[in-house]
């Protein structure tokens, strides 16, 4: 099974960026550790910040909400860096970080959903629902695949790409553009991952039959 999966294990844009910016994140993470801040506190601050940003989105203030959400991106990247530098990286810590990421993303969609609903823009309200559903499915499929021993990172719209699409469209006050791009591409990504896991499962089955 390891042979069937390792050959096809993908590298995401998030993985590439973490490696590329490691020399920037590590000094910042080390500085925050010396200040006495903890990785869990950074995770909590990211969630609080995104919640505040979502409140501004609900009010229709896309610029302020978008800038706050944009600022939360580096904070989200620092909690894992700080834990690694402390030598405290744990499975539970990674679990909490992932769960918090989902809450942060969903609270942003909630802010947009309430805004569009107040405007009576039911088409865009539907778009927010589809974007949220696709985003959750992308993450769920990867987690479920990992529980089966597969690493399903493939697809064109992982979390970083969703963030990179949504934040600028909020700042430029065209949130429906980002919402619909994510609504379409996140669900395509979910389907890509389903097909990827299916191919790995079939490859594993054939290998077992030959053995």
Asked whether residue 22 carries a pLDDT value surpassing 80, the answer given is no
Asked whether residue 20 carries a pLDDT value surpassing 80, the answer given is no
Global pTM?
Answer: 0.85
Confidence category of residue 17, pLDDT binned at 50, 70, 90: low
106-150: pLDDT as tens digits: 999 999 999 999 999 999 999 999 999 999 999 999 999 999 999
CA 93/CA 208 separation, integer angstroms: 35
Domain ranges for the chain, please list them.
2-210
Confidence category of residue 210, pLDDT binned at 50, 70, 90: confident
User: DSSP assignment, residue 183?
Assistant: H
pLDDT for res 21: 62
pLDDT for res 190: 96
Helix or strand (DSSP H, E) at 88: none
* Residues 12, 159 contacting (CB under 8 angstroms): no
- Residue closest to 78 by CA, chosen among 60, 92, 97, 62: 97
Q: For all residues of the chain together, what is the average pLDDT?
A: 87
CA 153/CA 10 separation, integer angstroms: 6
Among 134-138, 153-157, 181-185, 192-196, the least confident range:
153-157
Q: Whose structure tokens read 């769920």?
A: 140
Measured between alpha carbons, how far is residue 171 from residues 60, 92, 144 in Å? 11, 34, 34
- Residue closest to 112 by CA, chosen among 185, 177, 46, 187: 177
User: CATH class for domain 2-210?
Assistant: mainly alpha
* Residues 177, 169 contacting (CB under 8 angstroms): yes
Asked whether residue 15 carries a pLDDT value surpassing 90, the answer given is no
Measured between alpha carbons, how far is residue 21 from residues 6, 17, 33, 167, 174 in Å? 25, 6, 18, 20, 29
pLDDT for res 5: 42
Confidence category of residue 9, pLDDT binned at 50, 70, 90: low
């Amino acid at each position: 099974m390891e042979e069937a999966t390792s050959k096809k294990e993908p590298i995401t844009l998030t993985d590439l960026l973490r490696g590329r910016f490691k020399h920037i994140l590590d000094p910042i993470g080390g500085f925050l550790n010396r200040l006495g801040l903890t990785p869990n506190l950074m995770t909590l601050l990211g969630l609080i910040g995104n919640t505040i940003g979502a409140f501004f989105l609900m009010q229709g203030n896309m610029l302020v909400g978008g800038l706050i959400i944009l600022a939360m991106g580096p904070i989200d990247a620092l909690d894992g860096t700080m834990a690694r530098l402390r030598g405290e990286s744990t499975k539970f810590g990674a679990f909490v970080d992932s769960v918090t990421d989902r809450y942060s993303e969903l609270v942003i969609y909630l802010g947009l959903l309430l805004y569009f609903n107040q405007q009576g823009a039911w088409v865009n309200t539907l778009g927010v629902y589809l974007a949220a559903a696709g985003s959750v499915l992308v993450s769920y499929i990867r987690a479920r695949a990992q529980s089966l021993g597969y690493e399903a990172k493939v697809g064109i719209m992982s979390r970083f790409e969703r963030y990179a699409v949504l934040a600028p469209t909020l700042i430029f006050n065209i949130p429906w553009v980002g919402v619909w791009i994510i609504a379409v591409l996140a669900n395509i990504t979910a389907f890509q991952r389903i097909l990827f896991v299916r191919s790995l499962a079939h490859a594993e089955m054939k290998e077992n039959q030959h053995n």
